Chain A
Amino acid sequence: MRSRLAVATTRVVNAASRRLGRGQGTVAGGRSGLRIDPRLLEHLTIGRAVALVTGTNGKTTTTRLLSVALGRDGARVVSNETGSNMPPGHVAALAGDRRAGLAVLEVDEVYLPRVLAATRAAVVVLLNLSRDQLDRTNEVRMVAGTWRAALAAAPHATVVANADDPLVVWAAGAALQVRWVGAGLGWRLDAVGCPACQGRIAFDAGGSWACVSGCGFARPEPMATLRASGDGASYQAVWSDGACQKIALALPGRFNYANALMAAVAAAALGVDAVDGLAAMAAVGDVAGRFTLREVGGVRARLMLAKNPAGWSELLELVGDDEGPIVISINARTADGADPSWLWDVPFERLAPRVVVATGDRCRDLSVRLHYAGVTHVTEVDPVAAVRTAAAQGASADGARDRVDGDCVHVIGNYTAFHDLLAAGVPAP
């Protein structure tokens, strides 16, 4: 009775919030529902097969790819697609679709233990763990510790874990059933200390790793590995039996292929053939606006999101060889973390050949960083004006604009900066 009232309240408040234009209607309703029934998340997942997706980077995309794989032949899947990844967001999504038998939930790293206990998830996907918003979340090692304890207490869960991330491996090592995936790890600075013995992890040239302090902690043998082609233009899944399969995605970037492989192994744990699952993911074009082409201030702009050093490193790798102008927008609001000193962990030196327009609430922090990185840049506080400035710079710089991604300006923002730009733009023709 109590939970029925809670569900009804969640849906009414969500609908009202959406109608009032107060957001996407995914948090207010969930909060109201949880106030009436604190165990609402537990009640809403009874009888459903639940998969949880967590990690520092790739949560939203992997959640989407897994949902698509699971729903490929019409199975009904509910998911918190808007990225509201704490319990109010989970409750709001689940209350919105009581009939779906499958639930794929993106979960904030810090909330995994709570959500795992409440949902008794069948599958938990652990992508990676690195520094992010240190002013409001915990140290990554502490987060890995809470995952480990939670997984030890969840023998029902099959864990799909990135074998290339020592912190993830340590956390997953406490689980009863683990499917290891060689998904790669671009950012290793948070992985050097051995989580098992406080010794030191050493990586070899091939990316394998082991503790060199003698505790025996080492990379487990994965059942599936992501392998890049020689030119880095395409990716394959290599299974432990030797079978290979090319992964075709509409999404760019090594990290997205890694997300797809993690999602495919998770889908397999829920009974969907991994090959079929991967095939279904090929159609996913953009996820919550990431990599979308928008018209911002009359300029065609490719919008990209990166919010921490690991994410930035991967993204700069992706766009680093282009030559056109690029807009970088940095905020430090609550959802971004109030301390942007992580900008100094990002290899912005890579952008030295390009003209950068620094924008966002914290464009001055970025400007100082770019100054010391030797990157030519201008500072323009207003993000829309910054996109226009970039377009003008590109045009004046010998038509470089035409060489960028078929005549558009690259725009990378951190969390709220990205969403502001998404909201400021309209779909590009």
Chain B
Amino acid sequence: MNRPLRICVVYPDLLGTYGDGGNGVILARRAQWRGDEVELVQAPSDAPLPEADLYCLGGGEDGPQVRAARSLIDDGTLARRTAGGAVVLAVCAGYQIVGTTFPGADGVPHEGVGLLEVATTKGADARAVGEVVAEVVAESGLASLPTLTGFENHGGRTALDGAASGAGTGAGVGAAGVAGVGPAAAGLAGPTDPTVPLARVIAGVGNGDGSGREGAVCGRVLGTYLHGPLLARNPALADLLLAWALGLEVGELPPLDDTAAEGLRRERIAAMGRRRRTGRPRGSRGSRGSR
């Protein structure tokens, strides 16, 4: 790549509640440490969304979430760039708004950006709050990724659109065959790749639609409920996103010193293992006062 890799943190003023801005910092640092030229852009919600190779969306409160979705749809850049091959990492409220529909504070459905064929509804039971451990599933096409760890905090329940996740595969792959551009190149109307689940929940709630799944992937768009931030705890996933954005295979990226992150991963995954063995109800610490 001749120009710098451009990483854009989308609307940190609206979608920056749970430290997810860290994902952008982590991606930029890792690229920098490998000698790539990189530009990290914080894109405020009152300006046009800049062109970028990789977009990060984070968690946010209900009201700001609705405004963020509205602005992204009106702006159009995110959908256009995604169709052009840009990579999207969407976490929590960000995950919900890149889906087709999600509930506002009042429970009324709002239109999403439609990069993932997932629909979110308001959960009837308590908010999902706590640690998550999940294994990446084969159908995601990313099964070489190690166990995912993160922290979830959401009231919504997200379901993959059944019709879209099975059908449309053939047409999608065909349409995406523009050389070197990426899978979702067919048009602006919606994803042409199938939307598939990212992972299987080992501990925690995840999508919470009864499927036992967590997150969703469509082409180079990855949605998940995991904070932490996600990439602080899952450096291999950070490298996968970078490889996508740089047009490389993950194996082509020089290894980095991830001693600190590996220590954190071991600790978090082991902590959840202990909790399962002792039968302590998960979320028991977190549900107080939540809606």
| A residues apposed to B, CB below 8 Å | 110, 131, 134-142, 189, 192-193, 198, 200, 212, 334, 338-339, 341-345, 364-365, 367-369, 371-372, 379
Interface size class of B (residues with CB under 8 A): 35 or more
Are A338 and B22 closer than 8 Å at their CB atoms? no
Measured in the bound complex, the distance between the Cα atoms of B261 and A200 in whole Å is 37
> Contacts A134-B18, A135-B286 given: A198-B264 contact, CB under 8 Å?
no
Q: Told that A372-B22, A372-B29 touch, could you supply 13 new A-B pairs with CB distance under 8 A?
A: A135-B285, A135-B290, A139-B61, A142-B291, A189-B16, A193-B64, A338-B130, A345-B21, A364-B263, A365-B232, A367-B263, A367-B264, A368-B264
- CB of B129 within 8 A of chain A? yes
- 0/1 per residue, B133-161, Cβ < 8 Å to A? 00000000000000000010100000000
Which residue of chain A has its CB nearest to the CB of B265?
A: A364
A189 vs B151: C-alpha distance when bound (angstroms): 22
> Are B232 and A369 within 8 A (Cβ)?
yes
Of residues 162 through 186 on chain B, the ones whose CB sits less than 8 Å from some CB of chain A are: none
Kindly list the 9 A-B residue pairs having the minimum CB-CB distance in the complex, ordered from nearest. Answer: A344-B22, A341-B19, A344-B19, A364-B264, A192-B13, A139-B61, A367-B260, A135-B286, A339-B151
Bound complex: CA of A372 vs CA of B129, how far in Å?
26
Instruction: Check B14 against A192 for contact (C-beta < 8 Å).
Output: yes
Q: A345 contacts B61, CB within 8 Å?
A: no
> Across the interface, which residues of B come within 8 angstroms of A367, CB to CB?
260, 263-264
Report how far A334 CA is from B260 CA in the complex, Å: 25
Q: Which residues of B lie under 8 Å from residue A136 when comparing CB positions? A: 129, 285-286, 288-290
Q: How far is the CA of A111 from the CA of B242 in the complex (A)?
A: 45
Q: Which residues of A contact B153 (CB under 8 A)?
A: 134-135, 339
Contact indicator A193/B260 (Cβ below 8 Å): no
Q: B151 to nearest A CB, angstroms?
A: 5
Give the residues in chain B near A345, CB-CB below 8 Å.
16, 19, 21
Q: Pick the residue among B19, B66, B285 that contacts A334 (CB under 8 A).
A: B285
Q: Which residues of B lie under 8 Å from residue A134 when comparing CB positions?
A: 17-18, 153
Query: What are the residues of chain B within 8 A of A379 when measuring CB–CB?
Result: 260, 263
Is residue B123 contacting chain A, with contact meaning CB distance below 8 A?
A: no
> Within B92-141, which residues are at the interface with A (CB < 8 Å)?
129-131
Q: Complex Cα distance A32/B66, Å?
A: 44
* Cβ-defined contact, A341 with B289, below 8 A: no
Residue from the list A141, A344, A372 in contact with B61, Cβ < 8 A: A141
* Cα A8 to Cα B261 with chains together (Å): 53
B252, CB-defined interface residue at 8 Å: no
Q: Is the CB of A131 within 8 A of B17?
A: yes
* Distance (whole angstroms) from the CB of A30 to the closest CB of chain B: 18
- B41-69: CB near A (< 8 Å → 1, else 0) gives 00001100000000000000111101100
Residues from 52 to 88 in B contacting A, C-beta threshold 8 Å: 61-64, 66-67
Nearest CB on A from B93, distance (A): 11
Contact between A372 and B25, CB atoms less than 8 A apart: yes
Closest to A195 in B: B63
Chain B hits for A192, CB < 8 A: 13-14, 45
- Which residues of the other chain, B, contact A135 by a CB distance below 8 angstroms? 129-130, 151, 153, 285-286, 290
For B23, the closest partner residue in chain A by CB is: A344
Q: Which B residue sits closest to A342, measured CB to CB?
A: B19
In the bound complex, how far is the Cα of B26 from the Cα of A342, in angstroms?
Answer: 15
Q: Does B20 contact A (CB under 8 A)?
A: yes
Does B289 lie within 8 Å of A189, measured CB to CB? no
Contacts of B130 in A (CB 8 A): 135, 338
- The one of B13, B19, B233, B263 in contact with A193, judged by C-beta atoms closer than 8 angstroms, is B13
- Asked whether, in the complex, the Cβ of A341 is within 8 Å of the Cβ of B18, the reply is yes
Residues of B within 8 Å of A334, CB to CB, are 285
A138–B260 CB distance below 8 A: no
Which of A135, A140, A142, A345 lies at the interface centre, i.e. has the most chain B CB atoms within 10 A of its CB?
A135
B residues less than 8 Å from A365 (CB atoms): 232, 264
Q: Nearest B residue to A333 by beta-carbon distance? A: B285
**Given A344-B229, A344-B232, A371-B260, are A139 and B62 also a contact pair (CB < 8 Å)?**
yes
> In chain A, what residue has the closest Cβ to B233?
A368
Cβ–Cβ < 8 Å partners of B220 in chain A? none
Task: Say yes or no: is B228 at the interface (Cβ < 8 Å to chain A).
Answer: yes
Q: Which residues of B contact A189 (CB under 8 A)?
A: 12-13, 16
Q: Is B249's CB within 8 Å of the partner chain A?
A: no
Residue from A131, A137, A344, A368 within 8 A of B289 (CB atoms): A137
Q: What is the distance, in angstroms, from B99's C-beta to the closest C-beta of chain A?
A: 21
Q: Does B200 touch A at the CB level, under 8 Å?
A: no
**CB pair A200 B19 closer than 8 Å:** no
Question: Cα distance A203–B238 when bound, in Å?
Answer: 34
Q: Please indicate the chain A residues that have their CB under 8 angstroms from the CB of B66 in the complex.
A: 198
For residue A371, give the distance in angstroms from its CB to the closest CB of chain B. 5
Contact A338 B285 (CB under 8 A): yes
Establish whether residues B13 and A338, one from each chain, have CB atoms under 8 Å apart when the complex forms. no
* Interface check B213, CB cutoff 8 A: no
Distance in angstroms between the alpha carbons of A57 and B16 in the assembled complex: 20
B267 interface contact, C-beta 8 A: yes
Contacts of B285 in A (CB 8 A): 135-136, 334, 338
Give 6 CB contacts A-B under 8 Å.
A134-B153, A140-B61, A200-B45, A341-B151, A345-B21, A364-B260
